[in-house]
Amino acid sequence: MRTHHDTDVSGRRRNGADQDLTTAEAAQAGLRHVADLTGNETVGIVSVEPSDQGWLIGVETVEERRVPSSTDVLALYTAEIDLDGELLSYRRVRRYSRGHGDDGVSS
C-alpha cells in the first residue's frame, strides 16, 4: 500500500513527523552514503525523487581515474534513504566513460 506524503514549498516531506528532510538535505545524505560506502570521489547529485520509504538519490562517481581525464570511468549509483536520512539500500546502476551521455554518444 502506498503511503501519501506531501512535499511543501521548502521541499520538506510531510508524513506527520516534525523532522523530515528537505530535498537538499536528502540529496546530501544520499551523496555522503554513496561516497562512504564506495570510497569513490563523487562528481555530483544527478537526481532526487521521493519514494514510498523516503528518497531516491542518483549520485555520479569516478570509478577509475585515467589519463587523459576524458577517459575516466564514471558510475551512477542510486541510494534510497528514509525520511531521517538513514540508508535503506544502494546499488550501482551504470558504468560508462566520461563524456558519454545517456544515449552512449560522445558529447
Number of domains in the chain: 1
Q: For residue 11, name the pLDDT band (cuts at 50, 70, 90).
A: low
- List Cα–Cα distances, 7 to 10, 54, 55, 78, in angstroms: 8, 11, 12, 21
In a domain, 14, yes or no: no
- Residue 99 has a pLDDT of 82
In a domain, 12, yes or no: no
The answer to pTM > 0.95 is no
60: CB partners within 8 A, 6+ apart: 42, 43, 44, 45, 46, 74, 75, 76, 77
Domain around 42: 23-97
The tens digit of pLDDT for each residue in 27-40 reads 999 999 999 999 99
In a domain, 13, yes or no: no
Amino acid at 58: G
In a domain, 102, yes or no: no
